A and B are shown apart, each in its own frame.
Chain A
Amino acid sequence: MIRVIGKGRFCYMQKSSQPVSDNFSEKYSLYSGMLFRICRVYLGNIEDAEEALQEAFYKLMYNCPHFTSDEHEKAWLIRVTTNVCKDMLRNVWRKRVVKVEEFEGYYDSPSDVHIMEEIMKLPAKYKAVIHLYYFEDYLVKQISETLKISESAVKMRLKRGRDILKIELEGEAL
């Protein structure tokens, strides 16, 4: 027997009547920068980041749930993207690989390259919280809701990530 995995209840197709390509451009301009950065930090090289980004947008265009707000959509996308990245990292062959290639071209200063390399070396599970907290300025509660992990888990990962990166505390109340 062929077991066909149907779309079933996950058939939350585009509700908009806009052509996919138009809708895609709108969503791409809104989210691509943020999601690409998450992918690069998680995966390292551009090729893998682009692949993950493609997957995230594919899900947004064809497999997304009904969003109740823009914040809901954004949080969903972040979660999808981090999960896509984590799944790519699960590949046994590459799961221990942290690629630092191609970063030199982005930065003029060797110290910035070094900072990026240090971020890249973070264990994957700390990257998302560090990224959301320090780059996207999310609060612990928001990170908890976005990644669907407890606030104490967020705090723990922040602490450990911060310890590894030796991030200086600047009046942060954690």
Chain B
Amino acid sequence: MNKEDIKRVIVKLEPDKGMEYRIKEKILKRRCNKANTRPTMLMVARIAVFICLVFVGFNFVVKKFDTSSVILNPEDGVYLPKIELKKSKGGQADMMPLIVYQGRVYLRVDRIISSAGEIDLQGEKLGITNGNINERSKRDDYAAVEFSSTGGEGSNVYAVKGYDKSFRIMTYDTYDNEVFIYFYECSNGLTIKTGANFFDLLKMESNVKAAKYETYDSFYNGLKEYQELKEIVVLNSFVNELKNTIPCDYKSHDYLRDKIDEIKCIYVTLNDKMVVKLILYKEGYIGYKFANVFFKMNSQAFNDLWDQLA
């Protein structure tokens, strides 16, 4: 490979003709949303000073936080430390899309894009995201505190119907008859003694509609080589056993992630169209997104499901 090869292939990556229009529309819509919501936010802010409700817009600067789990005494389980927002004093910040609501830090975990009316997950309205840059950041630090705000400000935040809002909330926006839902979850601050402490939050039991899976190679390389899981009975047995899994601290099991031939990713669609993505490790461990904890399943149900994912 040489320089000309690189130029030749990259120059062909052009935005399509409609992209300018789409981006402009979305930016204007976003700006418009913000303008419309600003008076409301000011009023809410004033009221809230008195009622001590905490709501912070997302894309706040998060300095590096410890996302590792802490193992407690065996009988006490595993503690997932709380994420704390800290003042920015320059330097690289570790920024992630997030929402702070009532003192809890929710990290963005997933999104759904669908046609309007197809998804019915909107619960009670909790507020509107506001602002996306730490006001304490210095202008000179701006380059260092850029973040993504792929959702932006002025998005409506809702509880997710059927789920505990202390665990999962969502933003909901529409553009051109398309619905953009971003899910945010807060598992930090949890103490997990058994799988039930965590998996009960996901509402999977007796709620599975379908599932697909892919190999780690497909996942790693974004190949999307999904295969449908046909034996839902086997999956249901597995789901029923999740509550009996044993939490294990993340760091001492990080080696699991290196055994790429022994990892499978399964996407479980629930009846409400929520999709739960689990990573299975051949040794019987289960992982879930930002929850930096592994769950060990000592049950034949794991092996039965694993065999189905061949």
Task: Give the B-binding residues of A (Cβ under 8 A).
Answer: 1-10, 20-21, 24-25, 28, 32-33, 36-37, 40-41, 44-46, 50-55, 57-59, 61-63, 65, 76, 79-80, 83-85, 87-88, 90-93, 96-101, 106-107, 112, 115-116, 118-119, 121, 130-131, 134-135, 148, 165-168, 170
Specify the chain B residue showing the minimal Cβ separation from A87.
B148
CB pair A63 B5 closer than 8 Å:
no
Contact of A44 among B94, B108, B147, B222 (CB under 8 A): B222
CB pair B222 A131 closer than 8 Å:
no
Contacts A61-B27, A97-B222 known; 13 new A-B pairs at CB < 8 A: A2-B54, A4-B56, A5-B56, A5-B135, A28-B20, A36-B14, A40-B13, A50-B19, A88-B148, A98-B220, A100-B222, A107-B9, A130-B6
Q: Which residues of A contact B132 (CB under 8 A)?
A: 5, 63
| Nearest 7 Cβ contacts at the A-B interface | A99-B222, A5-B131, A2-B48, A87-B148, A83-B146, A8-B135, A36-B15
CB pair A37 B13 closer than 8 Å:
yes
CB pair B27 A3 closer than 8 Å:
no
Query: Known interface pairs A55-B150, A93-B289. Does A6 touch B131 (Cβ–Cβ under 8 Å)?
Result: yes
Encoded as 1 (CB less than 8 Å from any A CB) or 0, chain B from 3 to 17 comes to 101111111111110
Task: Give the A-binding residues of B (Cβ under 8 A).
Answer: 1-3, 5-16, 19-20, 22-24, 26-28, 30-31, 41, 44-45, 48-49, 52-57, 60, 94-97, 100, 108-110, 130-135, 137-139, 142-144, 146-150, 152, 219-224, 277, 289-290
CB pair A168 B131 closer than 8 Å:
no
Q: Which residues of B contact A4 (CB under 8 A)?
A: 41, 45, 56-57, 130-131
Q: How far is the CA of A28 from the CA of B146 in the complex (A)?
A: 20
CB pair B54 A3 closer than 8 Å:
yes
Contact of B22 among A1, A50, A135, A168 (CB under 8 A): A50
Query: Known interface pairs A1-B54, A115-B9. Does A32 touch B20 (Cβ–Cβ under 8 Å)?
Result: yes
Q: How far is the CA of A87 from the CA of B148 in the complex (A)?
A: 6
CB pair B144 A148 closer than 8 Å:
yes
